[in-house]
Each structure stands twice: as C-alpha cells, then as structure tokens.
Amino acid sequence: MEINKEDIMETAYNGYVFSEKTSANNMRIYRFCNETGTGEMRCYDLIEGIQLSYNQLNMETSYQDITPRPGILQIDHCLEGCYEFKFKDNERAFIGKGDLSVLELGKIPFENSCIPMKKYTGLSIFIDMDKAQKSISKYFPFGDINLFEIRDKACKNGVALIIRSRHEINHIINELYRVDKRIQTPYSILKTIELLLFLNLIECKDTKKLTSFSEPVYEATQECYKALLENPFDRYSISELAKQYAISESSLKRCFTYITGNSIGKFIKNLCLDASAELLIHKPEVSIGEIADLAGYLNQSKFSSAFKKRFGETPQQYRNKLI
C-alpha cells in the first residue's frame, strides 16, 4: 500500500505562514505563534490522498487571509473547546465538543475564524478527493466509497454537521485519539476508512448546517460571559441575564453553551468554585463558611461536597496544602 507523500494540509492552505515546521518519520509538526497564543498540528500521512492531523490550539485565532485550494475535503472533530467561523453576513457558526463537520475547502464564504475560549483540541482529516478516490478504489474496492457523493450530500449547503448516530461517530473517532503509537499508521488508515464507510451511507437529512447566531446575539452573549468572569460571586438567573443583555433566554443559553462548552448554570457554578479556591489561598483570614456563603451555598457541608467534586479534596485540605 502506497503511503501519502504529499503534504495535503500545507498544499490546501498554500500561503499559510507557520512559525515552525519539523518532521520525523511519518509525522510533520506545524506550530503557530501570534500575539493571541500558540498552537500545534501533528500531521500523519495515511494512504495516497489522505492525511490525518491532531490539533491543539491555545490561542484566540489562527486565521490568516489566504484562499484554500479547492478539491480538498476536510473532516473536523472537536474533542474539547469550540471553534468559531465568522461569515460575510456577520453570522457566527460554531463547531463544539463532540461535533463532526465536513466541508469542501474554498467553497465556504467566511471572512474570519477564532477560538472563543482560547482552547481547541481535535483532529482533522484532509482528503485530496481525486487522489484519494483512486487509492480507495484500489485498496478498498469492496467498500464502494465515493468521496464525491459524500461531498455532494454532506456539503450541499456549505459546512455540514453530521448529527445522525452520534454514538457510531464517537465509536469511530474516539479510537483515533487513543491509538497505540506502534500501530499508528495502519490503525489510523482503517479507522479513516471506517469513518468514510459511515459517511458514505448518510443522506442529506442526516446532516444540518453548523449552528449559527446573529451578530447581536453573539455580541450580547460575549458581554454576558465577560461580566460573569469579572463578577464570579454575583447571582443571576438566566431570565435576569437575558433581560439585562436584551436577548431571548433560548438564544442566550444556546450561544453561551457553544462559546464556553458549558451551560450557563454549570459555568457559574464552576466559576464560583474556582473563585472560592483563589480566596482559600490568598485570603486565609476569610473562613470557609464565609466563602461558602459568598459562593451561594446554604451550608458549608454542601460547599465542601461540591468543592471536593471539582478539585478532588475538601476546602480545608486545599487551603492547608497550598498556604
């Protein structure tokens, strides 16, 4: 079996400037660095026309104004975090935790992208459709995989999000994150073919466009998020927040979940516990009972239980260890 020799990702994003490139054996490493943070892509060559990349981005944006080469199918899976696209009509669309998206490069009219929480972990499969179709037909003829039909069904309306049989998708994709290095290439080839077999069966009804939000909803949700960060012990209901930022409760809840990866309630709870941990370290004169009250807990016992669930130890143990 012939292993891919062309760097499909770099060819697809011709003109993209990386801060560093290195290679070793069957892997290429691309690093990003700008004023917003850093990122890394570890790219593995699979069969001719297919490349797999593991992506770790800790930055607000990796966007550069280039025109990707057409004819490349890009399949993305988000393990952690969120990735945001800004379209030319100022709408924002998101790929969030657990999402699998399919797009044909060069066909999507977006003008920018960013990572709202400065954290994105996932993988990408880059497929040069002409070359990969020949390889698949040669090595896996019994699968009847047609990349162009997959493209036509999944990308009919732009970026597609696959929603049918999420369990089946996770079963395939999650194994790629855990593969033993000793069998990295052959196992990744098999799992990629398995994914393409699954995608070969999808119908247009099994996909939907990425969740998107208008600019007013997005901006209001960002303001809400920033205000919560600055005031972790303030107590607001979702209805109060929606009224304060002049958007509907449903829009606020949906957009907030995509931006942060958590519901508003869970985000506020974790934020309070994180702020409580800071007080335990930096304000030893404040009692644990007082901190529990600030965090909105009716008694110290419930606070201790919630704190231990998040940090693995009680507030007293946490304070004693770090002071």
For residue range 103-112, what is the model confidence (pLDDT) as tens digits?
888 777 677 8
pLDDT at 1 over 60: no
- Tell me how far apart the terminal alpha carbons of the chain are, to the nearest angstrom: 59
pLDDT for 206: 72
Question: Where exactly are the structural domains of the chain?
Answer: 8-212, 214-322
pLDDT classification of 158: cutoffs 50, 70, 90: low
pLDDT at 46 over 90: yes
The backbone torsions φ and ψ at residue 20, rounded to the nearest 5 degrees and listed phi first, read -160, 140
The partner residues of 38 in beta bridges, in order of sequence, read: 33, 58
The one-character DSSP state at 3 is: B
Give domain 214-322's CATH number out of 3.40.50.2000, 3.40.50.620, 1.10.10.60, 1.10.10.10: 1.10.10.60
The torsion defined by the Cα of 115, 256, 90 and 87, in degrees rounded to 10, comes to 50
SS3 242: helix
Fold of 8-212: Jelly Rolls (2.60.120)
- Is 214-322 in the same CATH topology as 8-212? no
Cβ(209)–Cβ(161) below 8 Å: yes
Query: Mean pLDDT across the stretch 3-29?
Result: 83
Residues 6 or more apart whose CB falls under 8 angstroms from that of 240 comprise none
